[in-house]
Structure 1
Amino acid sequence: MSKDIVLLNKEPFIRMVKRDSITTVKAWFIRMIAVILALIVAALVIVAITKQNPIEVYLGMIDGAVGSKRRLWVTIREILAMLCIAVGLTPAFKMKFWNIGAEGQILMGGTAAAAFMIYFSDKLPSGILLIVIIIVSSIAGLIWGIIPAFFKAYFNTNETLFTLMLNYVAMQIVTFCIVFWENPTGSNTVGIINSATKAGWFPSLFGNVYGLNVVLVLLLTTAIAIYMKYSKHGYEISVVGESEFTAEYAGINVKKVILRTMMVSGAICGFAGSLIVSGASHTISTSTAGGRGFTAIIVAWMAKFNPIAMILVSALLIFMQQGSVQIATQFGLNENASDIITGIIIFFLIGCEFFINYQVELRKKSKEGK
């Protein structure tokens, strides 16, 4: 009987223990290990399929992301779009309002941008038109964000399902607009808007077509970082996120904070729509958001909702995505191959967060006589 008790009380040889704290350097070291492992596994998957040298796989990834000036700027463009959306999600997620509707907010912002590019290209000067496009796309995203916020604040609806369902509504609105604009090809895209006049297109800055994108997104990222850390509104967002009851006890109007925060979140995601439509693709379709609204959730979460840290996380993730697309093309794989590689990378990046919060602990040898 006593032997059974001893066995029951015996600690496991290996166990996971929650860390009390971890230094920033160590946390990023763990993430870098995860990145290396992700690259190795992704390379092995491709090697198993293509029988290619792993070194060629790595070089193919680098070439796909930054192998030429054009590819470098395409990677930068994608980083900026991802960063902008992740920054937009930050206030809502910090408040623990699970905004899964960034895709819809992007689409609504992009649709508003496309509409003004189509109908006001010959009615407004280029500079004024660009400013108006940014404003109306932000307002469109704001409206799409405040709808679920209103129902959450006053009727306590499930914001996850509500925002998710609004994505599909936004897609139908985009489809309707494309048909209404009499798309001659009959597909779910309107083609390049104002290809001749380039009215409503973001102008080149510093000699590059994406120069203005860089300036606007970096300014926005800095502004949100300051807003979240140093403003009264940022403090209220944090308090509501920790506990609505505590916020109410402290005299914070929770309903007002929910509405205001989702207005900010939706507006930034709407602006991202104009960044994609007016600043990059110059077209609108049901795939304009391209899944960025969901991937940005991973970026925001991995960066611990720190807008500045999101720059690095966005760059890392997009670099790998662009590289994986190049591998699929270079080695003659189908279009799903890049998605598989991206999935492997994201799996490791998410999984490493577990080891940042927990550590492996081995059973200590018990001293004799105890």
Structure 2
Amino acid sequence: MNKKQSLFHIAKRDTLPWYKSFAIRGCAILLALVVCAVVTMLLTGENPVNIFATIFKGAFGSARKSWVTFQNLAVLLGISLAVTPAFKMRFWNIGAEGQVLIGCLATAACMICLADKLPNAVLILVSLAAALAAGALWGFLPAFFKAKWNTNETLFTLMMNYIATQLAAFFIIVWEVPKGAGKIGIINQGTEAGWLPVVGGQKYLLVILVVAVLTVFMYIYLNYSKHGYEIAVVGESQRTASYAGIKVERVIVRTMVLSGAVCGLMGLLLTAGTDHTLTTTIVGGRGFTAVMVSWMAKFNPIIMIFTSLLLVVLGRGASEISSTFGLNQSFSDILTGIILFFIIGSEFFITYQVSLRKSGKKEA
């Protein structure tokens, strides 16, 4: 009796050297660009070189565009750094959107309610403490229930996003309509109470510097600290961690409190540092995009800089394509999707080796 076998043989690889992994990812990006060029010619008739040049122009075409790109990079990277400790622990924190938003809400509350009661320096410190505490609370709740009753952290953190959104929507109305009219918009536009200081004449620079420091801290924390070691062990196996004397429940709660607090910090940087306002869409989906950034970088804070930059440049370039060539947003989304497909698909070839079988059939 003959038993049919597949044409390809797939086997798990040993860990590849870093340069081979980068080579595979680089080839994936080049193939993605080739496919994008073909799709561009077939669907629009435009020269693909012009399309790619426009993407670059949208991100770095002027000094202002470059600053906005780097600010967007800093915010996305900061949120990605926040969720990474939890992901490395195999705690699937899908609640970064809400954790950042609740940090924005706490910051806005301090700026609106305490603007005329505290000196500006003290107000900023109070806003910082409130944002960190709010984000930490939003991280603590799902972690506590996970540690005590093994609840599903994915659903729990996802639902917390909706609670944060509705809380923000409620207070936006409270601060906007009759009795609080005008308090939401540009908060404290006349006095700039609670606004973070401008560094080097550029309001985005402080955010970039803070996230740069945060990147270094998170890299050291995850790779060279006792807490980082415990996170890695718990992520590999909670049972092994328990045998090794690690208090798993404590690590889960501590890590998620840190994750939430960093998200709260990003909320402060958005509301008090760059946007100076509060809306339910201020985070702009970056809490979910951060999941992709962290995963694509294999939880490495340094590599996250490049994955964040790639996604930000694609997003900024997409808007430029739409306005320059009169194409709708869907076309730029197609190009982004193709590039991400190849990048994510390359991870398969890094993890597995694919080879042709010598014979398609084998006697049984």
Report the TM-score when normalising by structure 2: 0.92
Q: Which residue is equivalent to 1:31?
A: 25
**Which residue identity does 1:125 align to in structure 2?**
P
SS in 2 for 1:290: coil
Question: Paired residue for 1:93, among 87, 92, 102?
Answer: 87
Matches within 5 A, 1:274-313: 274-313=268-307
RMSD: 2.2
Q: Which residue is equivalent to 2:123?
A: 129
Whether contact under 8 Å (1:183, 1:190) holds in the other structure is no
Matches within 5 A, 1:187-198: 190-198=184-192
Per-residue Cα deviation, 1:285-325 (whole angstroms, up to 9, x for no partner): 11111111111111111111111221121112211221112
Question: Paired residue for 1:239, among 233, 237, 244?
Answer: 233
Q: Which residue is equivalent to 2:258?
A: 264
Q: Which residue is equivalent to 1:213?
A: 207
Q: Which residue is equivalent to 2:98?
A: 104
Deviation at 1:336, TM superposition (A): 4.0
Q: Distance in 2 between matches of 1:129 and 1:334?
A: 44
May I ask how many residue pairs the two structures share in their alignment?
358
Deviation at 1:359, TM superposition (A): 2.5
Question: Paired residue for 1:354, among 315, 332, 348?
Answer: 348
Larger mean CA deviation between 350-359 and 257-266 belongs to 350-359
Whether contact under 8 Å (1:65, 1:323) holds in the other structure is yes
Q: Distance in 2 between matches of 1:234 and 1:293?
A: 22
Whether contact under 8 Å (1:174, 1:285) holds in the other structure is yes
Q: Is 1:160 aligned with 2:159?
A: no
Whether contact under 8 Å (2:54, 2:321) holds in the other structure is yes
Question: Paired residue for 1:75, among 69, 72, 90?
Answer: 69
Q: Which residue is equivalent to 1:84?
A: 78
Q: Which residue is equivalent to 2:55?
A: 61
Q: Distance in 2 between matches of 1:190 and 1:237?
A: 40
Whether contact under 8 Å (2:318, 2:329) holds in the other structure is no
Q: Distance in 1 between matches of 2:18 and 2:98?
A: 34
**Which residue identity does 1:193 align to in structure 2?**
I
Q: Which residue is equivalent to 2:107?
A: 113
Whether contact under 8 Å (2:55, 2:321) holds in the other structure is yes
Q: 1:177 to 1:62 in 2, by over 3 A?
A: same
Q: Distance in 1 between matches of 2:328 and 2:191?
A: 37
Larger mean CA deviation between 357-366 and 292-301 belongs to 357-366
Q: Distance in 1 between matches of 2:42 and 2:120?
A: 52
Deviation at 1:164, TM superposition (A): 0.5
Q: Distance in 2 between matches of 1:147 and 1:351?
A: 35
**Which residue identity does 2:276 align to in structure 1?**
H
Per-residue Cα deviation, 1:263-288 (whole angstroms, up to 9, x for no partner): 00010111111122222211111111
Per-residue Cα deviation, 1:207-231 (whole angstroms, up to 9, x for no partner): 3211111211111111111111111
Whether contact under 8 Å (1:106, 1:141) holds in the other structure is yes
Q: Distance in 2 between matches of 1:64 and 1:327?
A: 8
Q: Distance in 1 between matches of 2:33 and 2:174?
A: 45
Gaps in structure 1 of 5+ consecutive residues: none
Whether contact under 8 Å (1:50, 1:331) holds in the other structure is no
**Which residue identity does 1:252 align to in structure 2?**
I
Q: 1:271 to 1:332 in 2, by over 3 A?
A: same
Q: Which residue is equivalent to 2:144?
A: 150
Q: Distance in 2 between matches of 1:121 and 1:340?
A: 46
Q: Distance in 2 between matches of 1:261 and 1:363?
A: 46
Q: Distance in 1 between matches of 2:332 and 2:273?
A: 25
Q: Distance in 2 between matches of 1:42 and 1:191?
A: 40
Q: Distance in 1 between matches of 2:141 and 2:40?
A: 44
Report the TM-score when normalising by structure 1: 0.90
SS in 2 for 1:359: strand
